[in-house]
């Protein structure tokens, strides 16, 4: 019995030590949090490359699919504390935007790595507070982000078809294949972004955003039946329809080796003023 008792005691001591170590990483509620300090904390990214905090946030922020779908942009302001051990805590949104943008801003700040050196006041490490803006605009939306949004919207539309066997968005069986855009190695969304010609009247009116376009890839691979699913203005909507309708042919979807038509839902065409 004694060896078992000793093991239990040892395990208890180890558990207590681990809990104490984790507790030390968090600042006590009674500890003051300073805004003005003698020395600001020094940030270092998780990959051990010295970068500024804002550069790190910019590199790690991903555009939420739901926000892209809604054409949401803007800044979300997040406050947090870098405690005296360099850990990030007490993260909260202080100026909100689109609900999906708020979630992403919280995620990217909460997952920030430990700061290399905490703030100092009177020669001692202290906790200090920050408020940072997380900016969301279409320039940080990667082709992968845009494609994810397209796939999500397309899947929702396809559920409305009674016979999904004749209209394919992705392989659903061994004898079926999806349509493939071959004209641009980065995909159809990137191709469209490179073909847009900003309408002068839209530029003068400072109009920008994302036009969502539905269309059909015929069994011959040609784009037909383009229509605006969500528009911005007549000028931008017209340009979005133009670039979509002028797309080069796709490699069509197939079923049992035969080409079939494929509807594409809510394909984004982005307009961003420079």
Q: Which residue segment(s) compose the domain that 180 sits in? A: 142-271
Same domain, 51 and 105: yes
pLDDT over 70 (residue 141): no
pLDDT over 80 (residue 160): no
Over residues 130-153, the mean pLDDT reads 66
Same domain, 88 and 69: yes
Q: Cβ contacts of residue 169 below 8 Å, gap of 6+?
A: 151, 154, 155, 158, 178, 262, 263
Same domain, 83 and 172: no
Same domain, 160 and 117: no
Same domain, 110 and 164: no
Task: Answer with the one of 138, 153, 177 that is the final residue of a domain.
Answer: 138
7 band by pLDDT with thresholds 50, 70 and 90? very low
Same domain, 133 and 156: no
pTM of the model: 0.46
Over residues 131-140, the mean pLDDT reads 75
pLDDT of residue 250: 92
Cα separation values, 79 from 76, 88, 169, 180, 215, Å = 10, 10, 42, 44, 43
Over residues 132-142, the mean pLDDT reads 70
Asked, for residue 11, whether it belongs to a domain, the answer is no
Q: pLDDT > 90: what percent of the chain?
A: 28
pLDDT of residue 93: 93
Same domain, 211 and 115: no
Asked, for residue 120, whether it belongs to a domain, the answer is yes
Cα separation values, 262 from 56, 88, 180, 214, 217, Å = 40, 48, 11, 11, 5
Top pLDDT among 28 and 65 is at 65
pLDDT over 70 (residue 207): yes
- The encoded tokens of residue 232 equal 């911005």
Asked, for residue 17, whether it belongs to a domain, the answer is no
Give the CATH number of the domain where residue 40 resides: 3.30.2420.10
Domain count within the chain: 2
200 band by pLDDT with thresholds 50, 70 and 90? very high
pLDDT of residue 151: 60
Same domain, 264 and 164: yes
Over residues 107-120, the mean pLDDT reads 91
Over residues 186-199, the mean pLDDT reads 87
- The encoded tokens of residue 97 equal 């935007």
Same domain, 150 and 122: no
């Amino acid at each position: 019995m004694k060896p078992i008792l000793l093991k239990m005691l040892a395990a208890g001591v180890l558990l207590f030590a681990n809990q104490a170590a984790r507790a030390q990483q968090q600042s006590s509620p009674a500890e003051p949090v300073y805004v003005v300090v003698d020395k600001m904390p020094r940030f270092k990214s998780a990959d051990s490359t010295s970068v500024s905090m804002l550069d790190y946030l910019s590199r790690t922020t991903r555009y939420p699919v739901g926000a892209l779908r809604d054409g949401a942009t803007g800044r979300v302001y997040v406050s947090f504390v870098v405690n005296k051990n360099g850990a990030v805590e007490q993260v909260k949104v202080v100026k909100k935007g689109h609900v999906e943008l708020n979630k992403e801003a919280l995620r990217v700040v909460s997952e920030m790595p430990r700061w290399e050196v905490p703030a100092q006041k009177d020669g001692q490490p202290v906790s200090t507070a920050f408020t940072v803006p997380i900016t969301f605009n279409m320039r940080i939306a990667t082709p992968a982000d845009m494609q994810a949004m397209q796939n999500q919207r397309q899947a929702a539309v396809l559920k409305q078809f009674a016979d999904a066997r004749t209209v394919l968005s992705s392989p659903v069986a061994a004898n079926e294949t999806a349509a493939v855009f071959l004209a641009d190695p980065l995909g159809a969304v990137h191709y469209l972004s490179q073909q847009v010609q900003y309408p002068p009247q839209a530029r003068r009116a400072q109009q920008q955003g994302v036009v969502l376009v539905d269309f059909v890839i015929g069994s011959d691979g040609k784009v037909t039946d383009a229509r605006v699913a969500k528009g911005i203005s007549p000028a931008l909507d017209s340009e979005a329809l133009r670039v979509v309708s002028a797309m080069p042919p796709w490699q069509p979807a197939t079923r049992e080796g035969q080409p079939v038509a494929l509807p594409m839902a809510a394909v984004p065409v982005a307009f961003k003023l420079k």
